[in-house]
Amino acid sequence: MQHDPQETEPRRPRPALAAAAAAAAVLLAVTACARTEEDASEDDGGGGGGEGQEQVLDEAAAGDETCTLDEYGGEGFDLTDVRVGFSQSEAESNPFRITETQSIVDEAEERGVDLITSNAQSDFAQQINDVQDLMSQGAEVLIIAPLNSDGWKPVLDEAAAEDIPIITVDRAINGTACEDFVTFIGSDFVEQGRRAADQMIDALDGEGEVAVLLGAAGNNVTTERTEGFQERIEAEAPGIEIVFEQSGDFTREGGQSVTEQLVQSEPDIDGIYAQNDEMGIGAVTALNGAGKESGEVSIVTVDGTEEAVQHIVDGWIHGVVESNPRFGPLAFEAAESFGAGEEVGTELIITDRAYDPSNAEEELPHAY
Amino acid sequence: MSAASVMARVDRDRARSWLQDYGVYVGVAAIVLFNVVFTPGFVSLENFRVQAVQAAPIVVVALGMALVIATGGIDLSVGAVMALSAAFVSLYLGYGPLVSVLVALLVGAVAGAVNGTIVAVAGVQAIIVTLAMMIAGRGLALVLVPQLEGIRNPALREFGSGSVAGVPYVVWVAALMVALVLFLVRRTLFGRRLVAVGGNRRAAELSGLPVRRTLLLVYTLCGALAAVAGVMTTARLQASDPNSVGLLIELSAITAVVVGGTPLSGGRVRVAGTVAGAILMQLLVATLIKHNLPPSWTQMAQTAVIIAAVYVARERGRS
CATH (domain of A206): 3.40.50.2300
Alpha helices in A112-172 (DSSP H): 124-136, 153-161
pLDDT of residue A346: 87
Pick from B39, B50, B107: CB nearest A28: B107
Nearest CB among B103, B147, B292 relative to A94 is that of B147
Q: Indicate yes or no: CB of B136 within 8 angstroms of CB of A5.
A: yes
Residues A149 and A202 in one domain: no
User: Which chain A residue shows the shortest CA-CA distance from B216?
Assistant: A17
For residues B34-54, b (16+ Cβ closer than 10 Å) or e, as one string?
Answer: ebeeebeebeeeebebbbbbb
**CA distances (Å), A124 to each of A118, A129, A131, A151, in order?**
13, 9, 11, 9
Neighbours of B99 (CB within 10 A): 13
Residue A1 — pLDDT band, cuts 50, 70, 90? very low
Question: By three-state DSSP, how is residue B71 classified?
Answer: coil
The confidence score (pLDDT) of residue A62 equals 62
pLDDT score, position B316: 52
**Mutation target among B53, B103, B110, B169 for the A interface, most CBs of A within 10 A:** B110
CB B51 within 8 A of CB B109: no
Mean pLDDT within A289-296: 89
Specify whether A114 is located in the same domain as A93. Answer: yes
A46 touches chain B (CB under 8 A): no
- pLDDT mean over A317-332: 91
Which of B48, B88, B121 has the most A C-beta neighbours within 10 Å, making it the best mutation to test the interface with A?
A: B121
Instruction: Band the pLDDT of A38: cuts 50, 70, 90.
Output: very low
Nearest CA in chain A to B117: A18
A280 pLDDT more than 90: yes
Residues A175 and A288 in one domain: no
pLDDT at A49 over 70: no
Residue A47 has what pLDDT? 38
**pLDDT category of residue B54 using cuts at 50, 70 and 90:** very high
Report whether pLDDT(A221) > 60. yes
Instruction: Flag whether pLDDT at A15 surpasses 60.
Output: no
Decide which of A176 and B180 is more confident: B180
Split at pLDDT 50, 70, 90, the class of A347 is confident
pLDDT, residue A54, reads: 72
Q: How confident is the model at residue A60 (pLDDT cuts 50, 70, 90)?
A: low
Mind telling me how many Å the CA of B256 is from chain A's nearest CA? 19
How far apart are the CA of B134 and the nearest CA of chain A, in angstroms? 9
Q: Confidence band (pLDDT; 50, 70, 90) for A13?
A: very low
User: Per-residue pLDDT averaged across A175-179, rounded?
Assistant: 85
At A90, the pLDDT band (50, 70, 90 cuts) reads confident
d(CA A10, CA A20): 18
Kindly determine whether residue A243 and residue B136, on different chains, have CB atoms separated by under 8 Å. Answer: no
Residues A199-211, mean pLDDT to the nearest whole number: 94
Residue B90 — pLDDT band, cuts 50, 70, 90? Answer: very high
| pLDDT for A4 beyond 50 | no
Please tell me the least confidently modeled range out of A113-127, B131-145, B268-282. Answer: A113-127
Whether residue B289 contacts residue A246, with contact meaning beta carbons closer than 8 Å, is answered with: yes
Between B263 and A26, name the one with better pLDDT.
B263
Cβ–Cβ pairs < 8 A, chains A and B: 147
Q: Which residues of A touch B44 (CB under 8 A)?
A: 264
pLDDT value, residue B128: 96
pLDDT band of A61, cuts 50, 70, 90: low
**Which residue ranges make up each domain of chain B?**
44-318
Tell me the mean pLDDT in the region A66-93: 87
C-beta of residue A246 within 8 angstroms of C-beta of residue B285: no
Best of A101, A245, A260, A266 to mutate (most B CBs within 10 Å, chain B) = A260
Q: Is A34 on the interface with B (CB under 8 A)?
A: no
Residue A165: pLDDT band with limits 50, 70, 90: very high
Q: How many CB atoms lie within 10 A of CB A55?
A: 25
Average pLDDT, chain A: 82
How close is the nearest chain A Cα to the Cα of B143, in Å?
10
Mean pLDDT in residue range A325-330: 90
* The pLDDT of residue A216 is above 50: yes
Residue B75 touches chain A, beta carbons under 8 Å: no
Among candidates A4, A17, A29 on the partner chain, residue whose Cβ is nearest the Cβ of B136: A4
Nearest-CB residue to B142 (from A28, A93, A252) = A93
Looking at the partner chain, which of B128, B144, B148 has a beta carbon nearest the beta carbon of A252? B148
Query: Poorest-confidence range of A15-29, A95-109, A113-127?
Result: A15-29
Residue A367 lies in a domain: no
Q: How far is A145 from chain B (nearest CA, A)?
A: 19
Partner B, chain A 96-115, Cβ-Cβ below 8 Å: 98
Structure confidence at residue A40 as a pLDDT band (50, 70, 90):
very low
Q: Which of A39, A93, A368 to mutate to test the interface with B (most CBs of B within 10 A)?
A: A93
Could you tell me if A329 and A182 lie in one domain?
yes
Is the pLDDT at A242 greater than 90, yes or no?
Answer: yes
CB < 8 Å from A in window 111-170 of B = 111, 113-115, 117-118, 121-124, 128-129, 132-133, 135-136, 139-140, 142, 144-150, 161
**Cross-chain Cβ contact B122/A251 below 8 Å:** no
Nearest CB to B132; choose among A8, A10, A36: A8
Cα torsion angle, B159, B163, B165, B169, sign: positive
- Asked if A251 lies within 8 A of B244 by C-beta distance, the reply is yes
Q: Report CB contact under 8 Å: B114, A5.
A: yes
pLDDT attached to residue A63 = 67
Percent of chain A surpassing pLDDT 70: 84
CA torsion sign, A268 to A271 to A276 to A280? positive
The pLDDT of residue B240 = 93
- Cβ–Cβ contact B103 with A under 8 A: yes
pLDDT bin (cut points 50, 70, 90) of residue A52 is: low
Residue A308 has pLDDT above 90, yes or no: yes
Average pLDDT in chain B: 91
pLDDT of residue A11: 38
pLDDT of residue B30: 93
Is A214 found in the same domain as A249?
yes
CA angle A94, A99, A100 (to 5 degrees): 100
B30 vs chain A: nearest CA distance in angstroms? 19
Is A90 in CB contact (< 8 Å) with chain B? no
What is the model's pLDDT at position A48? 37
Nearest by CB to A252, which of B88, B239, B295?
A: B239
Residues A60 and A168 in one domain: yes
Note the pLDDT of residue B243: 87
A194-219: b (≥16 Cβ within 10 Å) or e:
bbbbbbbbebbeeebebbbbbbbeeb
Residue A44: the pLDDT is 36
Q: What pLDDT does A24 receive?
A: 53
Instruction: Give residue-wise pLDDT tens across range B232-253.
Output: 999 999 999 998 899 889 999 9
DSSP string covering A318-366, please? -EEEE-----HHHHHHHHHHHHTT--EESEEEEEPPEE-TTTHHHHGGG
Q: Are A176 and A302 in contact (CB under 8 A)?
A: no
Question: Is residue B192 over pLDDT 80?
Answer: yes
Is residue B97 over pLDDT 80?
yes
Q: Which residue of A has its CA nearest to B41?
A: A265
Q: Are residues A173 and A220 in the same domain?
A: no
Chain B contact set for A24 (CB, 8 A): 106, 110
Query: How many domains does one find in chain A?
Result: 2
Q: Average pLDDT for residues B257-273, to the nearest whole number?
A: 93
Task: Establish if B299 touches chain A: CB-CB under 8 angstroms.
Answer: no
The CATH topology of domain B44-318 is ABC transporter involved in vitamin B12 uptake, BtuC (1.10.3470)
Does residue A224 share a domain with residue A204?
Answer: yes
Between A197 and A217, residue with greater pLDDT: A197
Residue A69, domain member (yes or no): yes
Among chain B residues, the shortest Cα distance to A262 is held by B290
Q: Give the range of the structural domain holding residue A333, as residue numbers without chain letter.
A: 56-186+325-352
As a whole number of angstroms, the distance between CA B303 and CA B255 comes to 9
Of B124, B146, B292, the CB nearest to A93: B146
pLDDT band (50, 70, 90) for residue A41: very low
Looking at CA atoms only, how far is residue A312 from chain B in angstroms?
17
